[in-house]
C-alpha cells in the first residue's frame, strides 16, 4: 500500500504592495527627526563648550575682582613702612647724606599671562634690565617680585604709558649724597634696603641703633635727628679739588690728604683719590673704593725724622744745642747709610733736621737705643693699628729685628710702614703740647679731648719741635709749602717704593707734613702722593715739588674758612728768637 505522501502547499511570497502616501510621510518624518536630533546634539555640545569657556572667563574675572591687589600700573599699591635714615651733616650743619623718595617697579607673577609680552614692553624703558632674571621671576609662583628698584620719574611715566599689565609701583627711600664723590670714603654706602654697609653709614647704624629701629619698622615714622660729623664740607671739597688736580698734573697713581684739628683730634677733612660717587658706586673690588689715607700703609720717608728728633729731645740725651757727627756714611756690614744732601761735617741738632740727614737721624736712634726708639714710636701710636669710626684701618709693619741697621733705617722712615692718618695724629701730638688724641670723625670739644688724651711727650719737647718744624719750613725742605702770612712748619718725606722686593730708584711715595700757625698750632695737614712723575715745568719728583705745593695750596684756600687769619707782621721772627 502506497503511503500517501502528504502534500504541502508552498506559501507564495506576499506580493509587494505599493506604499501608501501615509507611509512615505512617516519615513521622511523619521529621517527629519533624526537630523533634528543630531543638530540639537551638536548645538548642545557647542553651547556647552561656549558655556565652559565663558565659565572659565567668568571665574577668572571673579578671581581678579577678588584679588587683594589689582596689580596694574593704574592702581599702584599703597605705600608700606619706609625704612628711613637720619641725615648726615658736617660740623656746620651742611647735609652730606639724606633720604629721597623714589618708586620701585614690582610684578605679581600670578597675574602675568605672558612674561615675554611684559619684557618686550619693559626692555625699551630699562635697557639694563636683567632679562634672564626678570623672566624667571615673572614665571615664578609668588605674588610679588621686584623687577627694578628705585627708578626715575621718567621711567615710571614710560611704564604707565606702556600700560603693562601685572606690574605696579611701590614708594621707597633712596640714600642720596648731594656732594657726590666729596667725602665718599668717609660717608660710606648703604645697601638697596637703606642699611649701612660701610663708613659713617655703617657706624651710625651700630651706634644709634638705627638698624634695630629699621628691623622693627619704626624708623619710617620717627623724626630722626641728623647725625653730626667733624667734617667741614667746604674744606673737604677744596682738598679733593686740589688732590684731583695734583693727581692729573703729576700723573700719579693716587693721593691723600688729611686736615686734623690738633687740640681735639677732629678730622676736618680726609680725602683719598681716585674716589667714587656713592650715588652710583662701583663694585667693592674696584680700586677706587680703597680709602688709602686709612687703609694704605707706607714708608713715610723723612717725615719720620720729625719723630726721631722729638725722641732725641724727649730722651734727654739731646738738646737743640747738641752736635751730631755726620762727616762720613754709616756702615752696617754690606749696608751703607749716606745723606742725599751730604755736608760731610758735624751738624747742629737743627741742621740734622733741615738737611734731612740720614746719618744724623741714625746716630740719634743709636744714642737712645732700639728699645727706647720702639717704645717711643709705639707711644705715638705709629706702630699699632689705629681704628676710627669708619673702620678699614691698615696694620703697620715693623722690623722683625729691631736693632742695628734696622733701628737706623727706621729713624729716617725706612723699614717701617704706617698710615697717613696715624702719621698726622702723631704729628699733632708733637705740636699741641704733647697730647696724643685718637682721630675722630665725630664732633669733640677740647674738654672731651682732654679726657681721652695721652701725654706722650713733654710740653717742652713739643715747643722745641714747633721751632724745628718752622725752621725747616723757612730754611729747609718745607719752603715749597709756604703760604704768606701763615707761619707754616713742615717736613718732607720722599721714600723709594719697593718694586719686586727692591727699592726702586725712579718710583717714589712722597709725603708732606705741615702744621700752622706755628706760634699757636691749630691744624696739621698731611699730603701724600703715590708714584708722582717728573713733569714739564717742575724741577723734580720728590715731595718738595709735588706734595709740598699741594699742601700749601690746601692751607692757602682752607685756612680762612677755618678761621685762621693770615698775619703779615713779623712772620715767625718771635718764635724763632725764643730758642
Bridge partners (DSSP) of residue 330 are 337
What distance in Å separates the CA atoms of residue 140 and residue 115, rounded to the nearest whole number?
10
DSSP state letters, 350-381: HHHHHTT-HHHHHHHHHHH-HHHHHHHHHHTT
CA distance to 281, 345, 361, 466, 473, per residue, from 355 (Å) = 45, 12, 11, 17, 12
Q: What are 360's three cell numbers? A: 744724623
Q: What are 577's three cell numbers? A: 728768637
302 is catalytic: yes
CA distance to 291, 318, 511, 528, per residue, from 256 (Å) = 9, 34, 9, 5
What distance in Å separates the CA atoms of residue 330 and residue 312, rounded to the nearest whole number?
19
CA distance to 47, 62, 64, 75, 319, per residue, from 59 (Å) = 18, 5, 9, 22, 98
What distance in Å separates the CA atoms of residue 36 and residue 9, rounded to the nearest whole number?
49
What distance in Å separates the CA atoms of residue 84 and residue 220, rounded to the nearest whole number?
5
Single out the residue of 41, 82, 388, 465 nearest to residue 231, CA to CA.
388
Strands (DSSP E) along 432-522, which ranges? 435-436, 454-455, 489-499, 502-516
**Given 198, 272, 302, 477, which residue is catalytic?**
302
Q: How far apart are the first and last CA of the chain?
A: 187
Taking phi over 0 as left and psi of -120 to 50 as alpha, with beta for the rest, 64 belongs to: alpha
Single out the residue of 392, 440, 384, 383 nearest to residue 415, CA to CA.
383
What distance in Å separates the CA atoms of residue 460 and residue 150, rounded to the nearest whole number?
59
> Within a 13 Å sphere around the CA of 543, how many CA atoms are in the beta-carbon half?
29
Q: What are 515's three cell numbers? A: 702744621
Task: Yes or no: say if 301 and 495 are a contact pair by the CB < 8 Å rule.
Answer: yes
Task: Yes or no: say if 416 and 493 are a contact pair by the CB < 8 Å rule.
Answer: no
What are the residue numbers of the active site? 302
Amino acid at each position: 500500500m502506497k503511503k500517501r505522501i502528504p502534500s504541502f502547499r508552498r506559501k507564495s511570497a506576499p506580493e509587494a504592495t505599493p506604499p501608501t502616501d501615509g507611509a512615505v510621510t512617516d519615513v521622511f518624518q523619521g529621517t527629519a527627526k533624526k537630523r533634528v536630533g543630531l543638530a540639537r546634539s551638536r548645538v548642545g555640545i557647542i553651547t556647552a563648550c561656549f558655556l565652559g569657556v565663558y565659565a572659565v572667563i567668568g571665574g577668572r574675572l571673579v578671581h581678579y575682582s577678588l584679588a587683594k591687589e589689582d596689580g596694574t600700573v593704574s592702581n599702584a599699591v599703597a605705600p608700606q613702612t619706609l625704612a628711613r635714615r637720619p641725615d648726615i651733616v658736617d660740623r656746620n650743619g651742611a647735609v652730606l647724606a639724606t633720604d629721597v623718595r623714589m618708586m620701585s617697579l614690582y610684578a605679581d607673577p600670578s597675574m602675568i599671562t605672558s612674561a615675554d609680552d611684559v619684557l618686550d614692553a619693559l626692555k625699551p624703558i630699562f635697557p639694563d634690565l636683567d632679562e634672564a632674571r626678570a623672566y624667571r621671576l615673572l614665571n615664578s609662583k609668588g605674588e610679588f617680585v621686584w623687577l627694578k628698584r628705585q627708578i626715575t620719574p621718567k621711567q615710571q611715566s614710560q611704564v604707565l604709558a606702556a600700560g603693562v599689565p601685572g606690574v605696579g609701583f611701590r614708594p621707597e627711600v633712596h640714600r642720596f649724597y648731594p656732594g657726590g664723590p666729596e667725602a665718599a670714603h668717609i660717608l660710606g654706602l648703604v645697601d638697596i634696603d637703606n642699611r649701612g654697609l660701610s663708613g659713617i653709614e655703617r657706624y651710625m647704624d651700630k651706634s644709634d641703633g638705627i638698624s634695630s629701629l629699621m628691623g622693627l619698622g619704626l624708623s619710617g615714622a620717627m623724626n630722626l635727628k641728623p647725625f653730626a660729623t667733624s667734617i667741614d664740607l667746604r674744606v673737604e671739597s677744596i682738598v679733593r679739588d686740589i688732590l684731583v688736580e695734583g693727581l692729573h698734573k703729576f700723573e700719579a697713581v693716587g693721593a691723600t690728604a688729611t686736615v686734623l684739628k690738633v687740640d681735639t683730634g677732629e678730622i676736618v677733612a680726609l680725602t683719598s683719590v681716585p674716589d667714587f660717587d656713592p650715588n652710583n658706586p662701583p663694585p667693592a673690588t674696584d680700586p677706587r673704593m680703597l680709602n688709602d689715607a686709612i687703609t694704605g700703609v707706607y714708608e713715610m720717608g723723612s717725615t719720620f725724622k720729625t719723630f726721631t728728633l722729638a725722641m732725641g729731645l724727649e730722651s734727654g740725651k739731646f738738646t737743640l744745642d747738641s752736635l751730631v757727627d755726620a762727616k762720613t756714611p754709616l756702615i752696617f756690614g754690606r749696608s751703607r747709610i749716606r745723606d742725599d744732601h751730604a755736608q760731610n761735617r758735624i751738624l747742629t741738632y737743627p741742621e740734622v733736621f733741615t738737611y734731612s740727614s740720614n746719618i744724623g737721624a741714625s746716630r740719634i736712634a743709636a744714642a737712645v737705643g732700639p728699645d727706647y726708639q720702639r717704645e717711643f714710636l709705639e707711644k705715638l701710636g705709629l706702630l699699632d693699628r689705629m681704628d676710627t669710626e669708619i673702620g678699614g684701618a691698615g696694620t703697620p709693619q715693623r722690623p722683625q729685628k729691631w736693632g742695628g741697621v734696622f733701628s737706623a733705617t727706621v729713624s729716617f722712615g725706612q723699614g717701617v710702614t704706617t698710615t697717613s692718618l696715624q702719621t698726622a695724629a702723631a704729628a699733632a701730638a708733637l705740636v699741641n703740647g704733647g697730647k696724643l688724641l685718637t682721630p675722630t670723625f665725630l664732633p669733640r670739644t677740647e674738654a672731651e679731648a682732654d679726657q681721652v688724651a695721652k701725654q706722650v711727650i713733654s710740653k717742652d719737647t713739643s715747643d722745641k719741635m714747633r721751632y724745628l718744624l718752622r725752621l725747616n719750613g723757612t730754611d729747609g725742605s718745607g719752603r715749597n709749602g709756604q703760604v704768606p702770612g701763615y707761619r707754616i712748619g713742615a717736613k718732607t718725606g720722599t721714600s723709594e717704593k719697593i718694586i719686586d722686593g727692591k727699592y726702586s730708584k725712579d718710583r717714589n711715595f712722597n709725603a708732606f707734613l705741615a702744621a700752622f700757625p706755628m706760634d699757636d698750632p691749630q691744624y696739621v695737614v698731611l699730603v701724600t702722593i703715590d708714584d708722582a712723575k717728573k713733569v714739564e715745568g717742575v724741577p723734580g719728583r720728590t715731595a718738595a715739588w709735588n706734595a709740598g705745593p699741594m699742601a700749601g695750596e690746601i692751607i692757602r684756600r682752607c685756612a680762612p674758612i677755618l678761621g685762621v687769619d693770615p698775619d703779615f707782621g713779623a712772620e715767625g721772627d718771635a718764635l724763632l728768637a725764643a730758642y
